[in-house]
Amino acid sequence: MPEIVVKAGTRPPWVGLAAAVWVQFAAGNSYNFPLFSPALKSVLGFSQQQITMLGVANDIGESVGILPGIACNKLPPWIVLSIGALICFLGYGVIWLAVTQTVQNLPYWLLWLALLIGAHSSAWFGT
């Protein structure tokens, strides 16, 4: 079997693969909405219509990728991924705070916006 020679100052190819797998884990968060929507409904007392509207926010967030596409053409990949990580943390962080009732009585519009922003992170990761 041939020996893999890695130049000084470079990383083995497995490091890139591991990083790509973690990015794809984070990029798939928007597809998990059906898994945590029952928690939103029961803990926060939302109606089915409100949950459906949150699902719309999730779909809009993951589908609108104009800004990430423009940024991808102008910025290095690490900045694009950092922006995606930041908005993923902010969006889903607010949802987590609401579901765990760490912060109570958040307005519905704020949760809608937080879910839109959190789902929008998948556009930044996928671009």
105 part of a folded domain: yes
6 part of a folded domain: no
95 part of a folded domain: yes
Mean pLDDT (the chain, rounded): 88
How far out from the chain centre does Cα 35 lie?
Answer: 15
18 part of a folded domain: yes
The rounded distance, in Å, linking the Cα atoms of 54 and 60 is 10
* Band (26; pLDDT cuts 50, 70, 90): confident
* Band (80; pLDDT cuts 50, 70, 90): very high
- Read off the tokens for 50: 């409100």
- Read off the tokens for 108: 């519905």
1 part of a folded domain: no
37 part of a folded domain: yes
* Band (9; pLDDT cuts 50, 70, 90): low
Range of the domain at 116: 13-126
Q: Are the beta carbons of 99 and 40 closer than 8 angstroms?
A: yes
Q: Which residue has the higher pLDDT, 4 or 6?
A: 4
Packed helices 77-99 and 108-126: angle between N→C axes, nearest 10 degrees = 150
5 part of a folded domain: no
Any idea which of 22-26, 59-63, 103-107 has the lowest mean pLDDT? 22-26
